[in-house]
Protein backbone atom coordinates (compact mmCIF):
# COMPACT_ATOMS: atom_id res chain seq x y z
CA UNK A 1 0.00 0.00 0.00
CA UNK A 2 1.34 3.40 -0.96
CA UNK A 3 1.23 6.63 1.01
CA UNK A 4 -1.55 8.69 -0.52
CA UNK A 5 -1.78 12.31 -1.50
CA UNK A 6 -1.75 14.88 1.35
CA UNK A 7 -5.05 15.16 3.22
CA UNK A 8 -6.96 17.75 5.17
CA UNK A 9 -8.39 17.22 8.64
CA UNK A 10 -11.64 16.07 7.03
CA UNK A 11 -9.87 13.21 5.29
CA UNK A 12 -9.87 14.79 1.78
CA UNK A 13 -6.90 14.36 -0.51
CA UNK A 14 -5.13 17.35 -2.01
CA UNK A 15 -6.90 16.59 -5.31
CA UNK A 16 -10.28 17.10 -3.61
CA UNK A 17 -11.32 13.45 -3.55
CA UNK A 18 -12.05 11.55 -0.34
CA UNK A 19 -10.06 8.51 0.67
CA UNK A 20 -12.19 5.34 0.55
CA UNK A 21 -12.97 3.75 3.91
CA UNK A 22 -13.64 0.25 2.53
CA UNK A 23 -11.27 -1.93 0.47
CA UNK A 24 -12.11 -1.50 -3.20
CA UNK A 25 -12.85 -4.81 -4.92
CA UNK A 26 -12.55 -6.95 -1.76
CA UNK A 27 -15.83 -6.40 0.08
CA UNK A 28 -16.69 -10.09 0.69
CA UNK A 29 -13.52 -10.83 2.74
CA UNK A 30 -14.03 -7.51 4.54
CA UNK A 31 -17.64 -8.42 5.44
CA UNK A 32 -16.67 -11.93 6.52
CA UNK A 33 -13.94 -10.73 8.86
CA UNK A 34 -16.25 -8.02 10.21
CA UNK A 35 -18.70 -10.78 11.21
CA UNK A 36 -15.97 -12.13 13.52
CA UNK A 37 -16.17 -8.91 15.56
CA UNK A 38 -19.83 -9.75 16.24
CA UNK A 39 -18.93 -13.29 17.35
CA UNK A 40 -16.29 -12.48 19.93
CA UNK A 41 -18.47 -9.64 21.20
CA UNK A 42 -21.10 -12.25 22.11
CA UNK A 43 -18.53 -14.23 24.08
CA UNK A 44 -16.89 -11.36 25.93
CA UNK A 45 -20.01 -10.14 27.69
CA UNK A 46 -21.42 -13.55 28.44
CA UNK A 47 -18.65 -13.62 31.05
CA UNK A 48 -20.41 -10.78 32.88
CA UNK A 49 -23.41 -13.10 33.21
CA UNK A 50 -21.18 -15.99 34.29
CA UNK A 51 -19.71 -13.94 37.16
CA UNK A 52 -23.12 -13.78 38.83
CA UNK A 53 -24.19 -17.30 37.81
CA UNK A 54 -21.02 -18.97 39.11
CA UNK A 55 -21.08 -16.86 42.26
CA UNK A 56 -24.51 -18.36 43.02
CA UNK A 57 -23.87 -21.91 41.76
CA UNK A 58 -20.53 -22.32 43.56
CA UNK A 59 -21.31 -19.97 46.49
CA UNK A 60 -18.24 -17.84 45.73
CA UNK A 61 -16.90 -14.64 47.28
CA UNK A 62 -16.84 -11.40 45.26
CA UNK A 63 -13.13 -11.90 44.55
CA UNK A 64 -13.42 -15.57 43.51
CA UNK A 65 -16.36 -14.85 41.19
CA UNK A 66 -14.29 -12.21 39.37
CA UNK A 67 -11.75 -14.93 38.48
CA UNK A 68 -14.10 -15.66 35.56
CA UNK A 69 -12.82 -12.45 33.96
CA UNK A 70 -9.25 -13.23 35.01
CA UNK A 71 -9.26 -16.66 33.33
CA UNK A 72 -10.80 -15.32 30.11
CA UNK A 73 -8.55 -12.31 29.72
CA UNK A 74 -5.40 -14.03 30.93
CA UNK A 75 -5.90 -16.25 27.87
CA UNK A 76 -5.58 -13.09 25.78
CA UNK A 77 -2.29 -12.28 27.46
CA UNK A 78 -0.74 -15.72 26.97
CA UNK A 79 -1.70 -16.37 23.33
CA UNK A 80 -1.20 -12.95 21.70
CA UNK A 81 2.52 -13.24 20.96
CA UNK A 82 2.31 -16.88 19.75
CA UNK A 83 -0.51 -15.65 17.48
CA UNK A 84 1.74 -12.94 16.04
CA UNK A 85 4.55 -15.41 15.41
CA UNK A 86 2.08 -17.77 13.73
CA UNK A 87 0.81 -15.02 11.43
CA UNK A 88 4.27 -13.68 10.69
CA UNK A 89 4.99 -17.09 9.20
CA UNK A 90 1.64 -17.99 7.58
CA UNK A 91 -0.39 -14.77 7.37
CA UNK A 92 -3.61 -13.33 8.78
CA UNK A 93 -5.96 -15.97 7.37
CA UNK A 94 -4.25 -18.84 9.18
CA UNK A 95 -4.31 -16.79 12.36
CA UNK A 96 -8.05 -16.11 12.14
CA UNK A 97 -8.93 -19.74 11.38
CA UNK A 98 -6.71 -20.99 14.22
CA UNK A 99 -8.31 -18.51 16.61
CA UNK A 100 -11.81 -19.62 15.65
CA UNK A 101 -10.97 -23.30 16.17
CA UNK A 102 -9.50 -22.68 19.64
CA UNK A 103 -12.35 -20.30 20.48
CA UNK A 104 -15.00 -22.87 19.56
CA UNK A 105 -13.16 -25.69 21.33
CA UNK A 106 -13.10 -23.71 24.58
CA UNK A 107 -16.86 -23.32 24.42
CA UNK A 108 -17.37 -27.04 23.83
CA UNK A 109 -15.29 -27.65 26.99
CA UNK A 110 -18.13 -26.19 29.05
CA UNK A 111 -19.89 -29.56 28.70
CA UNK A 112 -17.27 -31.68 30.54
CA UNK A 113 -16.72 -28.79 32.96
CA UNK A 114 -20.39 -28.84 33.95
CA UNK A 115 -20.31 -32.63 34.26
CA UNK A 116 -17.44 -32.34 36.76
CA UNK A 117 -19.42 -29.90 38.92
CA UNK A 118 -16.19 -28.06 39.79
CA UNK A 119 -15.23 -24.41 39.31
CA UNK A 120 -11.65 -24.98 38.06
CA UNK A 121 -12.61 -26.79 34.79
CA UNK A 122 -14.80 -23.82 33.87
CA UNK A 123 -11.85 -21.49 34.40
CA UNK A 124 -9.76 -23.73 32.10
CA UNK A 125 -12.50 -23.61 29.46
CA UNK A 126 -12.69 -19.82 29.78
CA UNK A 127 -8.91 -19.56 29.46
CA UNK A 128 -9.17 -21.56 26.21
CA UNK A 129 -11.95 -19.31 24.93
CA UNK A 130 -9.87 -16.24 25.80
CA UNK A 131 -6.83 -17.70 24.07
CA UNK A 132 -8.80 -18.32 20.89
CA UNK A 133 -10.28 -14.83 21.02
CA UNK A 134 -6.76 -13.46 21.54
CA UNK A 135 -5.52 -15.08 18.32
CA UNK A 136 -8.64 -13.91 16.52
CA UNK A 137 -8.27 -10.30 17.65
CA UNK A 138 -4.52 -10.26 17.03
CA UNK A 139 -5.34 -11.16 13.43
CA UNK A 140 -8.62 -9.37 12.72
CA UNK A 141 -7.89 -5.90 14.16
CA UNK A 142 -4.65 -5.15 12.28
CA UNK A 143 -5.99 -6.90 9.18
CA UNK A 144 -9.02 -4.58 9.02
CA UNK A 145 -6.89 -1.52 9.88
CA UNK A 146 -4.57 -2.22 6.93
CA UNK A 147 -7.15 -3.66 4.53
CA UNK A 148 -7.64 -0.45 2.57
CA UNK A 149 -6.43 3.15 2.44
CA UNK A 150 -4.03 3.81 5.38
CA UNK A 151 -5.45 7.30 5.95
CA UNK A 152 -8.87 5.89 6.86
CA UNK A 153 -7.61 3.03 9.08
CA UNK A 154 -9.26 4.43 12.24
CA UNK A 155 -12.61 4.85 10.47
CA UNK A 156 -12.43 1.38 8.92
CA UNK A 157 -11.56 -0.34 12.20
CA UNK A 158 -14.21 1.63 14.06
CA UNK A 159 -16.76 0.52 11.43
CA UNK A 160 -15.90 -3.16 11.88
CA UNK A 161 -15.74 -2.76 15.65
CA UNK A 162 -19.23 -1.21 15.45
CA UNK A 163 -20.52 -4.77 14.99
CA UNK A 164 -18.92 -5.82 18.26
CA UNK A 165 -21.54 -4.07 20.49
CA UNK A 166 -24.50 -5.77 18.75
CA UNK A 167 -22.69 -9.03 19.46
CA UNK A 168 -22.24 -8.14 23.11
CA UNK A 169 -25.91 -7.14 23.34
CA UNK A 170 -26.95 -10.45 21.81
CA UNK A 171 -24.69 -12.34 24.22
CA UNK A 172 -26.09 -10.60 27.28
CA UNK A 173 -29.70 -11.11 26.15
CA UNK A 174 -29.03 -14.82 25.55
CA UNK A 175 -27.34 -15.09 28.95
CA UNK A 176 -30.18 -13.23 30.67
CA UNK A 177 -32.87 -15.58 29.41
CA UNK A 178 -31.05 -18.87 28.84
CA UNK A 179 -28.48 -18.86 31.68
CA UNK A 180 -30.30 -16.93 34.40
CA UNK A 181 -33.30 -18.99 35.50
CA UNK A 182 -35.09 -16.03 37.07
CA UNK A 183 -35.37 -18.04 40.30
CA UNK A 184 -33.79 -16.35 43.32
CA UNK A 185 -34.21 -18.10 46.64
CA UNK A 186 -34.69 -16.11 49.83
CA UNK A 187 -32.49 -16.93 52.86
CA UNK A 188 -35.46 -18.71 54.45
CA UNK A 189 -35.99 -20.86 51.35
CA UNK A 190 -32.27 -21.67 51.15
CA UNK A 191 -32.25 -22.77 54.79
CA UNK A 192 -35.29 -24.98 54.18
CA UNK A 193 -33.71 -26.58 51.10
CA UNK A 194 -30.47 -27.23 52.95
CA UNK A 195 -32.44 -28.88 55.75
CA UNK A 196 -34.24 -31.04 53.18
CA UNK A 197 -31.00 -31.92 51.38
CA UNK A 198 -32.19 -30.44 48.05
CA UNK A 199 -30.08 -27.28 47.90
CA UNK A 200 -27.05 -28.90 46.25
CA UNK A 201 -29.24 -30.33 43.47
CA UNK A 202 -30.75 -26.87 42.92
CA UNK A 203 -27.30 -25.27 42.58
CA UNK A 204 -26.20 -27.98 40.12
CA UNK A 205 -29.31 -27.42 38.00
CA UNK A 206 -28.47 -23.70 37.88
CA UNK A 207 -24.93 -24.58 36.81
CA UNK A 208 -26.10 -26.84 33.97
CA UNK A 209 -28.00 -23.91 32.41
CA UNK A 210 -24.73 -22.61 30.91
CA UNK A 211 -24.11 -25.76 28.82
CA UNK A 212 -26.70 -25.49 25.96
CA UNK A 213 -25.76 -21.86 25.28
CA UNK A 214 -22.04 -22.55 25.06
CA UNK A 215 -22.39 -25.77 23.05
CA UNK A 216 -24.55 -24.01 20.46
CA UNK A 217 -22.24 -21.03 20.29
CA UNK A 218 -19.19 -23.30 19.97
CA UNK A 219 -20.74 -25.14 17.01
CA UNK A 220 -21.46 -21.82 15.24
CA UNK A 221 -17.88 -20.63 15.77
CA UNK A 222 -16.42 -23.86 14.38
CA UNK A 223 -18.69 -23.54 11.32
CA UNK A 224 -17.36 -20.01 10.77
CA UNK A 225 -13.82 -21.43 10.88
CA UNK A 226 -14.72 -23.74 7.99
CA UNK A 227 -16.27 -20.91 5.92
CA UNK A 228 -13.29 -18.62 6.49
CA UNK A 229 -10.88 -21.42 5.64
CA UNK A 230 -12.57 -21.82 2.25
CA UNK A 231 -12.52 -18.08 1.50
CA UNK A 232 -9.73 -16.44 -0.48
CA UNK A 233 -8.19 -13.68 1.65
CA UNK A 234 -5.83 -11.28 -0.19
CA UNK A 235 -2.40 -10.66 1.42
CA UNK A 236 -1.61 -7.34 3.10
CA UNK A 237 0.95 -5.76 0.78
CA UNK A 238 2.17 -3.19 3.34
CA UNK A 239 3.55 -6.12 5.38
CA UNK A 240 4.84 -7.97 2.31
CA UNK A 241 2.65 -10.96 3.08
CA UNK A 242 3.37 -13.86 0.80
CA UNK A 243 6.94 -12.71 0.16
CA UNK A 244 10.04 -14.38 1.44
CA UNK A 245 11.52 -11.43 3.32
CA UNK A 246 11.74 -10.63 7.01
CA UNK A 247 8.52 -9.51 8.69
CA UNK A 248 9.91 -7.47 11.57
CA UNK A 249 11.12 -8.24 15.07
CA UNK A 250 10.51 -7.39 18.72
CA UNK A 251 13.97 -5.78 18.79
CA UNK A 252 12.74 -3.19 16.29
CA UNK A 253 9.56 -2.63 18.28
CA UNK A 254 11.60 -2.03 21.42
CA UNK A 255 12.98 1.08 19.71
CA UNK A 256 9.50 2.46 18.95
CA UNK A 257 8.14 3.94 22.20
CA UNK A 258 4.76 4.95 20.73
CA UNK A 259 3.57 1.34 20.51
CA UNK A 260 4.41 0.78 24.19
CA UNK A 261 2.50 3.91 25.20
CA UNK A 262 -0.48 2.57 23.22
CA UNK A 263 -0.15 -0.78 25.02
CA UNK A 264 -0.41 0.96 28.41
CA UNK A 265 -3.44 2.95 27.18
CA UNK A 266 -5.17 -0.22 25.98
CA UNK A 267 -4.41 -1.96 29.27
CA UNK A 268 -6.18 0.90 31.08
CA UNK A 269 -9.03 0.96 28.57
CA UNK A 270 -9.91 -2.75 28.63
CA UNK A 271 -9.44 -2.98 32.40
CA UNK A 272 -11.79 -0.03 32.90
CA UNK A 273 -14.42 -1.42 30.52
CA UNK A 274 -14.50 -4.95 31.88
CA UNK A 275 -14.41 -3.96 35.55
CA UNK A 276 -17.23 -1.41 35.12
CA UNK A 277 -19.40 -3.99 33.37
CA UNK A 278 -18.65 -7.00 35.59
CA UNK A 279 -19.43 -5.02 38.75
CA UNK A 280 -22.73 -3.64 37.47
CA UNK A 281 -25.00 -6.59 38.34
CA UNK A 282 -23.71 -7.06 41.93
CA UNK A 283 -23.65 -3.23 42.30
CA UNK A 284 -27.35 -3.05 41.44
CA UNK A 285 -28.17 -6.08 43.57
CA UNK A 286 -26.62 -4.29 46.56
CA UNK A 287 -27.94 -0.76 46.12
CA UNK A 288 -31.32 -1.31 44.41
CA UNK A 289 -34.23 -3.75 44.73
CA UNK A 290 -33.95 -5.12 41.18
CA UNK A 291 -33.68 -8.85 40.32
CA UNK A 292 -30.75 -10.51 38.54
CA UNK A 293 -32.58 -10.40 35.22
CA UNK A 294 -33.49 -6.73 35.60
CA UNK A 295 -29.88 -5.88 36.49
CA UNK A 296 -28.80 -7.80 33.38
CA UNK A 297 -31.11 -5.57 31.35
CA UNK A 298 -29.08 -2.58 32.54
CA UNK A 299 -25.96 -4.33 31.31
CA UNK A 300 -27.73 -4.72 27.96
CA UNK A 301 -28.48 -0.99 28.07
CA UNK A 302 -24.75 -0.27 28.52
CA UNK A 303 -24.03 -2.24 25.37
CA UNK A 304 -26.83 -0.55 23.41
CA UNK A 305 -25.36 2.77 24.51
CA UNK A 306 -21.99 1.55 23.24
CA UNK A 307 -23.43 0.51 19.87
CA UNK A 308 -25.09 3.91 19.46
CA UNK A 309 -21.82 5.61 20.37
CA UNK A 310 -19.92 3.62 17.77
CA UNK A 311 -22.33 4.37 14.92
CA UNK A 312 -22.63 8.05 15.89
CA UNK A 313 -18.93 8.68 16.54
CA UNK A 314 -17.33 6.86 13.60
CA UNK A 315 -18.71 9.24 10.90
CA UNK A 316 -17.68 12.21 13.05
CA UNK A 317 -14.05 11.12 12.73
CA UNK A 318 -14.01 12.70 9.28
CA UNK A 319 -14.31 16.06 11.05
CA UNK A 320 -12.90 15.48 14.56
CA UNK A 321 -9.47 14.00 15.12
CA UNK A 322 -9.88 10.47 16.53
CA UNK A 323 -7.22 11.13 19.17
CA UNK A 324 -9.01 14.25 20.42
CA UNK A 325 -12.33 12.40 20.50
CA UNK A 326 -10.63 9.64 22.50
CA UNK A 327 -9.34 12.16 25.04
CA UNK A 328 -12.69 13.89 25.50
CA UNK A 329 -14.55 10.60 25.83
CA UNK A 330 -12.03 9.43 28.43
CA UNK A 331 -12.71 12.52 30.55
CA UNK A 332 -16.48 12.03 30.29
CA UNK A 333 -16.21 8.43 31.44
CA UNK A 334 -13.96 9.26 34.38
CA UNK A 335 -16.64 11.71 35.55
CA UNK A 336 -19.37 9.09 35.11
CA UNK A 337 -17.41 6.55 37.17
CA UNK A 338 -17.00 9.16 39.90
CA UNK A 339 -20.78 9.57 39.87
CA UNK A 340 -21.18 5.78 40.32
CA UNK A 341 -18.94 6.04 43.40
CA UNK A 342 -20.63 9.10 44.88
CA UNK A 343 -24.27 8.20 44.13
CA UNK A 344 -24.69 4.42 44.54
CA UNK A 345 -28.07 3.20 43.37
CA UNK A 346 -30.07 4.04 40.26
CA UNK A 347 -28.15 7.28 39.60
CA UNK A 348 -24.85 5.41 39.64
CA UNK A 349 -26.29 2.59 37.53
CA UNK A 350 -27.45 5.02 34.85
CA UNK A 351 -24.02 6.66 34.91
CA UNK A 352 -22.51 3.27 34.03
CA UNK A 353 -25.10 2.88 31.26
CA UNK A 354 -24.17 6.29 29.83
CA UNK A 355 -20.47 5.37 29.90
CA UNK A 356 -21.09 2.82 27.15
CA UNK A 357 -21.54 5.64 24.60
CA UNK A 358 -18.07 7.03 25.33
CA UNK A 359 -16.39 3.61 25.60
CA UNK A 360 -17.51 2.94 22.03
CA UNK A 361 -14.51 4.30 20.11
CA UNK A 362 -11.78 3.65 22.66
CA UNK A 363 -10.51 0.18 21.76
CA UNK A 364 -10.44 0.50 17.94
CA UNK A 365 -9.02 4.03 18.06
CA UNK A 366 -6.20 3.09 20.44
CA UNK A 367 -5.51 0.01 18.32
CA UNK A 368 -5.38 1.89 15.01
CA UNK A 369 -3.27 4.74 16.44
CA UNK A 370 -0.84 2.26 18.00
CA UNK A 371 -0.29 0.45 14.68
CA UNK A 372 0.35 3.52 12.56
CA UNK A 373 3.76 3.52 10.94
CA UNK A 374 4.79 0.05 12.17
CA UNK A 375 4.97 -1.42 8.66
CA UNK A 376 6.39 -4.94 8.72
CA UNK A 377 6.17 -4.93 12.53
CA UNK A 378 2.38 -4.54 12.47
CA UNK A 379 1.56 -8.15 13.41
CA UNK A 380 3.93 -8.06 16.37
CA UNK A 381 2.68 -4.63 17.42
CA UNK A 382 -0.89 -5.88 17.17
CA UNK A 383 -0.03 -8.81 19.43
CA UNK A 384 1.25 -6.42 22.11
CA UNK A 385 -1.97 -4.39 21.93
CA UNK A 386 -4.01 -7.58 22.30
CA UNK A 387 -1.82 -8.68 25.23
CA UNK A 388 -2.84 -5.42 26.89
CA UNK A 389 -6.35 -6.88 27.13
CA UNK A 390 -4.97 -8.58 30.25
CA UNK A 391 -6.18 -5.40 31.96
CA UNK A 392 -9.57 -7.12 31.86
CA UNK A 393 -8.07 -9.89 34.01
CA UNK A 394 -6.51 -7.56 36.58
CA UNK A 395 -8.96 -4.71 37.14
CA UNK A 396 -12.11 -6.75 38.08
CA UNK A 397 -10.49 -8.71 40.96
CA UNK A 398 -9.15 -5.43 42.34
CA UNK A 399 -12.69 -4.05 42.30
CA UNK A 400 -13.85 -7.27 43.99
CA UNK A 401 -11.22 -6.91 46.72
CA UNK A 402 -12.27 -3.33 47.36
CA UNK A 403 -15.90 -4.48 47.63
CA UNK A 404 -14.89 -7.28 49.99
CA UNK A 405 -12.94 -5.01 52.35
CA UNK A 406 -15.32 -2.03 52.27
CA UNK A 407 -18.56 -4.01 52.24
CA UNK A 408 -19.84 -2.16 49.17
CA UNK A 409 -19.40 -2.19 45.39
CA UNK A 410 -19.60 1.60 44.97
CA UNK A 411 -16.00 2.34 45.93
CA UNK A 412 -14.89 -0.38 43.50
CA UNK A 413 -15.75 2.01 40.67
CA UNK A 414 -12.61 4.02 41.44
CA UNK A 415 -10.80 1.22 39.55
CA UNK A 416 -12.42 1.88 36.14
CA UNK A 417 -12.27 5.62 36.85
CA UNK A 418 -8.47 5.39 37.06
CA UNK A 419 -8.40 3.43 33.80
CA UNK A 420 -10.43 6.02 31.93
CA UNK A 421 -8.15 8.79 33.21
CA UNK A 422 -5.26 6.85 31.63
CA UNK A 423 -7.14 6.70 28.31
CA UNK A 424 -7.81 10.44 28.40
CA UNK A 425 -4.11 11.17 28.99
CA UNK A 426 -3.17 9.00 26.01
CA UNK A 427 -5.72 10.73 23.79
CA UNK A 428 -4.42 14.20 24.66
CA UNK A 429 -0.86 12.98 24.10
CA UNK A 430 -1.71 11.67 20.62
CA UNK A 431 -3.69 14.81 19.78
CA UNK A 432 -0.52 16.87 20.09
CA UNK A 433 1.36 14.77 17.54
CA UNK A 434 1.39 14.62 13.74
CA UNK A 435 1.31 11.15 12.18
CA UNK A 436 3.44 9.99 9.29
CA UNK A 437 0.53 8.91 7.09
CA UNK A 438 -2.27 11.35 7.71
CA UNK A 439 -0.63 14.72 8.13
CA UNK A 440 -2.82 16.29 10.84
CA UNK A 441 -2.64 15.19 14.42
CA UNK A 442 -4.66 12.04 14.78
The reply to whether 12 falls in a domain is no
Reported as a pLDDT band with limits 50, 70 and 90, residue 226 is very high
Question: Which pLDDT does position 17 carry in this prediction?
Answer: 55
Closest CA to 368 of 33, 162, 141: 141
DSSP string, 367-430: HHHHHTT-GGGHHHHHHHHHHGGGHHHHHHHHHHHHHHHHS-SGGGGHHHHHHHHHHHHHHHHH
Question: Which pLDDT does position 441 carry in this prediction?
Answer: 42
C-beta of residue 248 within 8 angstroms of C-beta of residue 383: no
Reported as a pLDDT band with limits 50, 70 and 90, residue 271 is very high
The reply to whether 164 falls in a domain is yes
Judged against a pLDDT cut of 60, whether residue 14 lies above it is answered with: no
The reply to whether 65 falls in a domain is yes
- Report phi then psi at 348, rounded to 5: -65, -40
Output the CA torsion sign for 139, 420, 282, 310: negative
Three-state secondary structure call for residue 59:
coil
The reply to whether 379 falls in a domain is yes
Judged against a pLDDT cut of 60, whether residue 100 lies above it is answered with: yes
- Report phi then psi at 67, rounded to 5: -65, -15
- Report the chain's mean pLDDT, rounded to a whole number: 85
Judged against a pLDDT cut of 80, whether residue 243 lies above it is answered with: no
pLDDT in tens, 412-425: 999 999 999 999 99
pLDDT in tens, 310-346: 889 988 888 888 999 999 999 999 999 999 999 999 9
CA distances (Å), origin 358, targets 57, 194, 321 = 34, 46, 15
Q: Which domain holds residue 291?
A: 27-236+245-431
Judged against a pLDDT cut of 60, whether residue 83 lies above it is answered with: yes
Question: Which pLDDT does position 13 carry in this prediction?
Answer: 46
Q: How far is 113 from 22, CA to CA, in rounded Å?
A: 42
Question: Which pLDDT does position 217 carry in this prediction?
Answer: 92
The reply to whether 4 falls in a domain is no
Q: How far is 130 from 112, CA to CA, in rounded Å?
A: 18
pLDDT in tens, 361-384: 998 899 889 988 787 787 788 888
Question: Which pLDDT does position 389 carry in this prediction?
Answer: 85
Question: Which pLDDT does position 11 carry in this prediction?
Answer: 47
Q: How far is 400 from 365, CA to CA, in rounded Å?
A: 29
- Render the burial of 60-98: b for 16+ CB within 10 Å, e for the rest: bebbbbbbbbbbbbbbbbebbbebbebbbeebbbbbbbb
pLDDT in tens, 272-320: 999 999 899 999 999 999 888 898 889 889 988 988 998 899 888 888 8
CA distances (Å), origin 251, targets 255, 266, 296, 377 = 7, 21, 45, 10
Judged against a pLDDT cut of 50, whether residue 24 lies above it is answered with: yes
pLDDT in tens, 163-186: 887 888 888 888 888 888 877 788
Q: What percent of the chain has pLDDT over 90?
A: 37
Reported as a pLDDT band with limits 50, 70 and 90, residue 91 is confident
Q: Give the CA-trace dihedral at 336, 352, 103, 228, to 10 degrees.
A: -80
Judged against a pLDDT cut of 70, whether residue 240 lies above it is answered with: no
Question: Which pLDDT does position 438 carry in this prediction?
Answer: 45
Kindly report the pTM of this predicted structure.
0.73
What's the CATH number where 52 sits?
A: 1.20.1250.20
Judged against a pLDDT cut of 50, whether residue 9 lies above it is answered with: no
Reported as a pLDDT band with limits 50, 70 and 90, residue 5 is very low
Closest CA to 355 of 280, 412, 255: 280
Question: Which pLDDT does position 328 carry in this prediction?
Answer: 96
Judged against a pLDDT cut of 70, whether residue 257 lies above it is answered with: yes
Question: Which pLDDT does position 122 carry in this prediction?
Answer: 94
Altogether, the residues listed in the chain come to a count of: 442
Judged against a pLDDT cut of 50, whether residue 354 lies above it is answered with: yes
The reply to whether 14 falls in a domain is no
CA distances (Å), origin 186, targets 191, 192, 323 = 9, 10, 49
pLDDT in tens, 119-157: 999 999 999 999 999 898 888 888 887 787 777 777 788
Closest CA to 294 of 275, 276, 277, 281: 281
Query: What is the average per-residue pLDDT within 180-206?
Result: 86
Q: How far is 24 from 5, CA to CA, in rounded Å?
A: 17
The reply to whether 393 falls in a domain is yes
Judged against a pLDDT cut of 60, whether residue 61 lies above it is answered with: yes
The reply to whether 373 falls in a domain is yes
Q: How many domains does the chain have?
A: 1
Closest CA to 273 of 124, 399, 142: 399
Q: How far is 118 from 60, CA to CA, in rounded Å?
A: 12
CA 272 to chain centre: 11
Amino acid sequence: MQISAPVTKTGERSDGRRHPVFPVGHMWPFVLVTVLFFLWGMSNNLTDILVQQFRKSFELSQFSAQLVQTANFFGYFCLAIPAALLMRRWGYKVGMVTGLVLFGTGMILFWPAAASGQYAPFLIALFTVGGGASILETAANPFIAQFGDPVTSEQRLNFSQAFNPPGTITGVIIGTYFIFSGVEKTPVQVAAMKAAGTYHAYLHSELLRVVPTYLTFGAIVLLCAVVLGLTKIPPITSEHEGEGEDHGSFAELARQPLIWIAVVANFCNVGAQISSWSMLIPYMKQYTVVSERTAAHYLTAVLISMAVGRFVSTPLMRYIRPSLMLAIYGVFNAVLMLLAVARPGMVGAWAVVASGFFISVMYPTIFALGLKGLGRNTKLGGSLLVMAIVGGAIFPPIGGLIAKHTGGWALGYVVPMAGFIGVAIYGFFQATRRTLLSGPAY
